[in-house]
Structure formats: structure tokens, C-alpha cells
Structure 1
Amino acid sequence: MERKATSRRRGEALEQAILDAVWDEFREVGFSKLTMEGVAKRAGTSKPVLYRRWSSPVELMIACAASRVPKAESVPDTGTLRGDTIALLTLAHERMRIVGQTAMLSMLAQVSVDPEARKVLIEGIVNNLSKALSGTVYARAIARGELAEEHLTERLARLPIDLMRNEFILFGHVDAGAIEEMLDQVILPALRARGATV
């Protein structure tokens, strides 16, 4: 592992360099050996710089994972709510698989006792995925006439993400058939029960 050349990076540039270093360090040494010292060295910065923003390697990893959540613009337009939701969940699963079940379980354990880590997780991962779902997938479905805003409740709106996350945490993998079953057996029937034409 080589230390990156030091430059006067600040703000977003420094944060991105740190998050990239977290990712590279995680891929090389694994979650259990991820340290503030290793990340600082790889990013060409110091541990005090990291500790000003993140209190532990777990918080760093949560922030790193959040930065790699599929963005709204990355969801392909398949022409249907079903197809768009499958596309988003497939993208989300690919990112979860790279992070891995063990790392995700460790992050969730930290979140249960650390309010700051919970805030990073909710704002970074949960909200970004929800934005991709509501702001893109559901918005397209509403524009196509498959769905109306009144068909969605807060819980139902985030149900696809909740089901995907829980399945992955339990089994470490979610195959294409399971994603389709989530849609066809749970999510779409729930929306139809509220009057949607999906």
C-alpha cells in the first residue's frame, strides 16, 4: 500500500479522497482489519483529520458505503414500475454484495449503539435509496399512469428497499428470482390493493 501524494485538499475533495481510500483499504484488507491509521495513510492525510468527521472505522465504512449507493440517475427506464423497481433492486444488491454480509452486519450492530453512525446510515444509505425509488421509479410510474401519490404510504414507499436489505442480511445473497418474487408476491399486490394499476 502506497501513501498518496499529499496536497492541500479541503472540503468535498478531501472527503472523496478519504472515502476512496476507505474503499480501497476495505477491498485490500477486509472489514475486520480496517483501521483509521490504514485509511489515513492510504489517503495521504492524518488520523486527526479522520476523527474530526468520523469516530470509528465503522462510521467511515458506513459513509463509504453510502457514497456508493445507486443514484437516482443510474436507474434505467424500463417502461414499467415493475421493471424499474427490479433494475433498482438489482443495482442495490450488486453494491450490497461488494460490501458483503459480514460488513453490513457489523455496521448495523454499530448503528444500534451509536446515534451518529445511525444518522450517517439513514442519511446516506436509506435516504439515497429511498430518493432513487420515490424520486425516479415511483415518479416515472406516476407519469405513466400506473400509480398515483395517494397509493403510496411511507412504509409502502420504502418496502422494496426494506425487503431487499432484510433478505441480504439474512442470506448474504438475493437472486433475480427472489427480487421478482418480492415484486410479484408482495409489493405490486399491496399497491393494487390501494388502487394502483400496476
Structure 2
Amino acid sequence: MASADHGTIVGDDGLSRPPWASADPLLREYYDTEWGMPVRDEQGLYERITLEAFQAGLSWATILRKRPAFRAAFHNFQPDTVAAFTEDDVERLLLDAGIVRNRQKIRAAITNAKATIDLRPDGGLVDFVWQFQPAATPQPLTHAEIPTKSPESLALSKALRGRGFVFVGAVTMYALMEAIGMIDTHLLNSHRRGTSGVWAD
């Protein structure tokens, strides 16, 4: 692989990607097909909020490798099912080596499933989150130019906390906004820049 301008790396397929998505085949596939694409369904958004919370303090590659086990353990992140989890389920999940075994984060997944259900009478999780889409998106040339939080991610964090969500800090919510296409932080020279359909460069 050869370095390209603007902080990207050109792969053997001739496509430019950021360094984090260039070496690991799993991350490369995730970057090429999923990261930054709009997520506008409740189950999908709840899953991503949950996985972003589990990722705190860990690498995203770790979470991505464990995602099949997470989906099995949390019944494909169906909010109604997870909201009904009991302390017995918490203890069961703490014995599941396939996921990140953290009691606080497991309980957060249950709490956030209940909060997701509670949002339904007010329009639901998707509309609630997407109302914080900013008017403009970053245009980074290098990874160093990508913010780690924004006024919108701070506002989203505060609003979700106000509706009972936990593990939804401003930095975590910025990562969520990137992952679900609310902002486009693909490097300007990346082959994925502008492909979400949300932002026109």
C-alpha cells in the first residue's frame, strides 16, 4: 500500500481510505460498506448506541469482532426483549466470554432499551436523535482535523440523559453521529466521502 495525499492510504484495490480502515480486513469491510451510512430504524440505532457504550475504553475493532456474539446475547438488540432482562440475565451475560463483560455497560444496555421504548409516544428514538443533525459537516484532510465532539453531540448527550439514557457522553455521541451518517467525517480524499446521501460536497 502506498500513501496518498491528505492522510489517506491507497489500497491494493486503488481506493483511498484512512489509516484505521486500511490494514485490518474486518475494519476495511466495515468502513467500505457500513460506517457513515444512514441508520434510521429503531433497532439499528439502539444497537449502535449500545455498542458505542461498550466500546468506551476499548478499540472499535474489538467490538466489531465481538458483534456477532453481542447480537446473539442481546437478541439482535430488540429493545422490547432487552428491556425485559432481569438480574439473572445480567449474571448470564457476565459469564458470556463472547462479549465485553462489564456489569455497568450491560445494565446500561437494559436501561437504554427501556428509555428507547419510553421515547415511542414522542416520535421515537430515530427522530429524537436525528433532530441534532448539524447544519454543516466537517471537511477533514487528515485524521487530526476530525473533532472528537461538537455542540450538537453535547446537546444530544444532554437530551438523551434527560430521557433516561446512560453511557451517552458527548464524545460517545459524536462517534455515534459519525457512524450513522449524521455527520460525514470521511477524509476528503477517501473513496467514501459523500457517499451517504446525507451530505452533498
Q: TM-score, normalised by structure 2?
A: 0.28
Structure (1 or 2) with the larger CA radius of gyration: 1
**RCO comparison, higher one (Cα < 8 Å, 6+):** 2
